[in-house]
Amino acid sequence: MAKQSINVGSAANDGTGDTERAAWIKANANFDELYDGAARLPKIEKTAAYTASSDDTGSSIRADASGGAFAITLPASAVREGDFLRVHKGDASANRVTVRNASASDLAWLSAQGDAVWFVWWKGAWEAFDWRIAPLRIVYASSGTSTKPPLATAIEVTAIGGGGGGGSGRCGASASIRTGGGGGGGGMVQQLRFAAAAHGATESVTVGAGGSGGPSPGTAAANGVAGGTGGASLLGALIRADGGNGGGAGQAANASGGAALPVGTFGTLGGGGTSASTVTAGGGGGGATGGGAGGASIDAGNVARGAAAGGAGSSHAAAPLSGGTAGTATIPAGGAGAAADPALHSGGAGGGGGFSGNLTGNGSAGGAGGTPGGGGGGGGACDTGFSPGAGGNGGRGEVRVTWTFS
pLDDT value at 388 more than 70:
yes
**40-54, 97-111, 225-239, 323-337: least confidently modelled range:** 40-54
Alpha-carbon distance of 225 to 336, in angstroms, equals 20
pLDDT value, residue 70: 98
Of the candidate ranges 36-45, 151-160, 258-267, 326-335, the one whose mean pLDDT is the lowest: 36-45
pLDDT at 1 over 60: no
Give residue 36's pLDDT band: very low, low, confident or very high (50, 70, 90).
low
- What CATH class has 39-132? mainly beta
Report pTM: 0.88
Express each pLDDT in 118-129 by its tens digit.
Answer: 999 999 999 999
SS (H, E, C) the chain: CCCCCCCCCCCCCCCCCCCHHHHHHHHHHHHHHHHHHHHHCCEEEECCCEECCHHHCCCEEEECCCCCCEEEECCCCCCCCCCEEEEEECCCCCCCEEEECCCCCEEEEECCCCCEEEEEEECCEEEEEEEECCCEEEEECCCEEEECCCCCCEEEEEEECCCCCCCCCCEECCCCCECCCCCCCCCCEEEEEEEHHHCCCEEEEECCCCCCCCCCCCCCCECCCCCCCCCCEEECCCEEECCCCCCCCCCCCCECCCCCCCCECCECCCCCCCECCCCCCCCCCCCCCCCCCCCCCECCCCCECCCCCCCCECCCCCCCECCCCCCCCCCCCCCCCCCCCCCCCCCCCCCCCCCCCCCCCCCCCCCCCCCCCCCCCCCCCEECCCCCCCCCCCCCCEEEEEEECC
Q: Which residues of 19-58 are buried (b: 16+ CB within 10 A; e: fewer)?
A: eeeebeebeeebeeeeeeeeeeeeebebeeebebeeebbe
Q: How far apart are CA 333 and CA 352, in angstroms?
A: 8
What percent of the chain clears pLDDT 90, i.e. is strictly above it? Answer: 86
Q: What percent of the chain has pLDDT over 70?
A: 97
What's the angle, vertex CA 370, arms to CA 148 and CA 183, rounded to 5? Answer: 125
Strand partners, 108: 99
Whether the pLDDT of residue 19 is over 90: the answer is no
Q: Would you place residue 393 in the very low, low, confident or very high pLDDT band (cuts 50, 70, 90)?
A: very high
pLDDT recorded at residue 276: 95
Report the alpha-carbon distance of residue 138 to residue 135 in Å, rounded: 10
pLDDT band at 378 (very low <50, low <70, confident <90, very high): very high
Mean pLDDT of the region 286-300: 97
